[in-house]
Amino acid sequence: VTHAEERRLRLWQGKIETRVDVIGSGPPLVYLHGPWGLRADGAFLSALAADHTVYAPWHPGTTPGDPNAVHEIDDWLDLLVYYGELFDHLGLENPPLVGHSFGAMVACELAAANPARVQRLVLMSPIGLWRDDAPVRNWLIIPEAERRQALFAAPDGEAARAFFAVPEDRDARAEAVAAFTWAQACVGKFVWPIPDKGLKKRIHRVAAQTLVLWGEQDRVAPPLYARDFARHIEGARVEVLTRAGHLPHLEQPEQVSRQVQVFLAGPTVSA
């Protein structure tokens, strides 16, 4: 794992402290994490950092030491404006956005709200659309005994084991469980009770070259949704990965990072 520089920004009229992990060198890329925080994404970010400077901001409220920041962002309009401010502070004009799950939903909303600012977009297992015939699973109420099965294609695989590993020490374990739980709560705020927050009305505004990646065994957001994203985003390319669930970048890290790198290195195509 490449060493990450940890930056702290004070945003939103001084009310939010945001940690941003910065890794690697080269052209910038912003990575937006999913509902479980950035904890498990280190190795994947290092792979992306081979030819990019990866900026990975922590969702409001998940930055250690500022849990109440989540109460400063009330809705999607706030969240999108907040990310505009964050990118400005980082000096990023129109960085490629790579998002996972909820983070992919944020990336897609940003691309729809401000098409000029998002020219390349990678959506890994995005949520944000809704079908009654294939509901997105509410990850906040998955029984503990079913979590591995729900999130991973290989529930007993190494990726699942590492993802759910907690420290032995009681206090360290409490802190880890708290951070893991709180991340879900902070993200859940924006998609409760179901993740249909109007993206379907706005998604046609996305003008970015878009890559949609999906795990074939995604049991949180069924792969059926890949078609819906592709249908609404002109020119979007869909790649479905085998032996991957809702966290394809953890179960198939090499394949996913290669796909992303190739896509980002590709020629610009005007839509």
Partner 1 sequence: MFHLMPYRDLPADFGERYRSAFLDPAWFDVADPDLVGKYYNWTLDELLYAANAGMHGVCTNQHHQNVYGFMANPSLMGSVLARGTNSQNVAIVQIGSTLPSTSPPTRIAEEYAILDCISGGRLVAGFPAGLPTDATLSNGVVPIEQRERYKEALDLVLKSWSAHEPFTWNGKHYQLPHVNLWPRPIQQPHPPIWIPGSGSASTVEFVVDRDDCFCHLSYAGLRSAEMLGDYYWDAVTRLGRDANPYRFGFLQLVGVSETDAAAEEEYGRHVEYFFHNLLHTPPYYQQIPGYQDYPSMVRSLKEPLRDRSDTTPLKAKDFIDRGFLIAGSPATVRDRLLDGVKRLRVGHLMVLLHFGSMSHEQCLKNIDLFCREVLPALEGLWDDEWDDRWWPERLRVPRPAAEAMA
Q: What x-and-dash track marks residues 47-66 binding partner 1 by CB under 8 A?
A: --------------x-----
Does residue number 171 form part of the binding site for partner 1 (CB under 8 A)? yes
Q: Does 192 help bind partner 1 (rule: CB under 8 A)?
A: yes
User: Cis omega before residue 193 (within 30°)?
Assistant: yes
For 85, what's the count of Cα atoms within 13 Å in the CB-facing half-sphere?
18
* 140 near partner 1 (CB under 8 A): yes
Amino acid at 52: H
Q: In the complex, what is the shortest distance from the CB of residue 19 to partner 1, in angstroms, rounded to a whole number?
A: 15
67 binds partner 1 (CB under 8 A): yes
The residue assigned the tokens 């944000």 is 128
Minimum gap (Å) between residue 108 Cβ and partner 1: 21
Q: Name 60's Cβ contacts closer than 8 Å, sequence gap at least 6.
A: 16, 18, 69, 70, 72, 73, 79, 82, 186
CB atoms within 10 A of CB 229: 22
Near partner 1 by CB under 8 A: residue from 1, 10, 68, 266: 68
Given the complex with partner 1, which of 47 and 70 has the nearer CB atom? 70
Of the pair 20, 73, the CB lying nearest partner 1 is at: 73
- Select from 6, 74, 158, 216 the one that contacts partner 1 (CB under 8 A): 74
Of the candidate residues 85, 175, 196, 239, the single one contacting partner 1 (CB under 8 A): 175
Dist. CA 41–CA 26, nearest whole Å: 20
**Do residues 109 and 199 make contact, with C-beta atoms less than 8 angstroms apart?**
yes
| Whether the Cβ atoms of residue 130 and residue 196 lie closer than 8 Å to each other | yes
Contact set with partner 1 (CB under 8 A): 61, 67-68, 70-71, 74, 140-144, 170-171, 173-175, 177-178, 181-182, 184-186, 188-189, 192-193
